[in-house]
Amino acid sequence: MDSGLAALLGAAVGSATTLGAAIVNGRAQARSQHAQWSRQHRRDAYAGYLSALHDRDIAMDAVLDALRSGEPDLTDIDEKIRRFITLAREVHRAGEVVILEGPAALAEVAERVTHASSDLSYVMRRMAENAHAGDTARKAEDSALAAERERVLYQAVKDFRLAARSTIGKTN
C-alpha cells in the first residue's frame, strides 16, 4: 500500500471516529438537557403547589382564629371562608400539575396532603356551622380536634416537601 492511500485511509478512519464521538457526545448532551428541563418543570410544579398550600393555610388559620374567639364575627368569618375556598381551588389546580409532572410516588404524597386538608376543613366547616347556630357546646372539643388535624396537615406538607426535594435531586 502506498503512503498516499495509507494517509487517506487514516484520515477516513479518524474522521469516522470523530463523527462517532460527536454523535455520542451530542446524544449525551441532549439527554442531559432533557433531564434538566424535566427537573425544572417538576421543580416549578412542586414550588407552585407548596406556594398555593401556604396561601390557603394562612387563610385557614385566619378562619380558625376567628372561630376560636369568644364572640365570633359571623360576617368576618364568612368572608374569610370565601377567601379560603378560593385559595383551596388554587391548591387543587396546582395539585393537578403535580400529578401530571409525576412521579406517581409524589402524587401519592400530595394525596395525603389533600386528605389531611379535607379532614381539617371538615372540622372548620362544623365550627362555622356551630358559630352560625350559636352552639358553643363542642367549641373546645372542635378547637382541640382542629389543632390535632393542623399538626397532621403540617406533617403531610413536610413529607411532600421532602419527597419533592428527593424527586428533583436535591439532597441537602
CATH topology for 41-167 is Four Helix Bundle (Hemerythrin (Met), subunit A) (1.20.120)
- Segment holding 165, helix H or strand E: helix 139-167
- Joined together, the cell numbers standing for residue 167 give 424527586
pTM over 0.85: no
pLDDT in tens, 68-80: 988 899 999 999 9
Angle at CA of residue 145, ends 139 and 151, nearest 5°: 140
Eight-state DSSP code of residue 69? S
The domains of the chain are located at 41-167
Torsion angle defined by CA atoms of residues 27, 30, 34 and 39, in that order, rounded to the nearest 10 degrees? 100
pLDDT in tens, 116-145: 999 999 999 999 999 999 999 999 999 999
